[in-house]
Amino acid sequence: MTPDTTLPPLIKTLGQQPYEIVWREMQQFTATRDANTRDEIWLVEHPPVFTLGQAGKPEHLLDPGEIPVIQTDRGGQVTYHGPGQLVAYLLLNLRRHGLGVRQLVTLIEQSIVDLLQEYGIAAYARQDAPGVYVDGSKIAALGLRVRHGCSFHGLSLNIDMDLEPFSRINPCGYPDLQVIQMRDLTQPAALFTVGKQLTRHILGRLGYNQDEQTTGDITSHE
């Protein structure tokens, strides 16, 4: 039998799920995986929620109002998740891919830049502030955790959402940072279609060929 480690990551489309439930499932997956466990990428959309990273400073929460705030174990400061935003969680064995954390961040950023280029959007990464930007405004955020050489958490990409809650925080800890979304710049595809387009770029940068990408499993989470 072909070992799971030779297969591309399993892509799971979860639909809209509460943040905390998915977070706990990521922790469980990472805690129980072993050297032979197949990598996975989870595509999800969350109901409105603010999340604070491990070293997140409460003063960056300006006026959360009725939106819940969850202290989580990823890196980074405060961010917002809500309907119309694609979240991709990368559950990868970094040793298997010969990646360090900085290399993984660069891989994710460049995959998003490549995706946005398909839509005619000129995006870029910044050395001083992880994420992806368009004309100085942030369109995608990153927050990762690595445990025993395996990553969890991942990225969020603003597609077609209500951006107002970002005004209630200092996004990623940066006062007055402007936030933008794909809808402001183009006519994006449906959220999970964009997700599948993004995973093609991520898998390509992980070294999987086009045939492997197009035959990857797409499953739903009930």
The residues annotated as belonging to the active site are: 172
Residue where the block lists tokens 């925080």 = 169
Sequence-distant (≥ 6) Cβ neighbours of residue 173 within 8 angstroms: 56, 57, 60, 76, 77, 78
CB 88 within 8 Å of CB 154: yes
Report the candidate in 193, 204, 12 with the shortest Cα–Cα distance to residue 119: 193
CB 168 within 8 Å of CB 145: no
Q: 16: buried, middle or exposed (CB in 10 Å: 19+, 13-18, 0-12)? A: exposed
Question: What is the torsion angle, in degrees rounded to the nearest 10, for the CA atoms of residue 74, residue 75, residue 76 and residue 78?
Answer: 20
Identify each DSSP E strand in 92-165 by its residue range: 124-125, 132-134, 137-147, 150-158
Beta bridge partners of 87: 44, 156
CB 141 within 8 Å of CB 82: no
d(CA 11, CA 42): 6
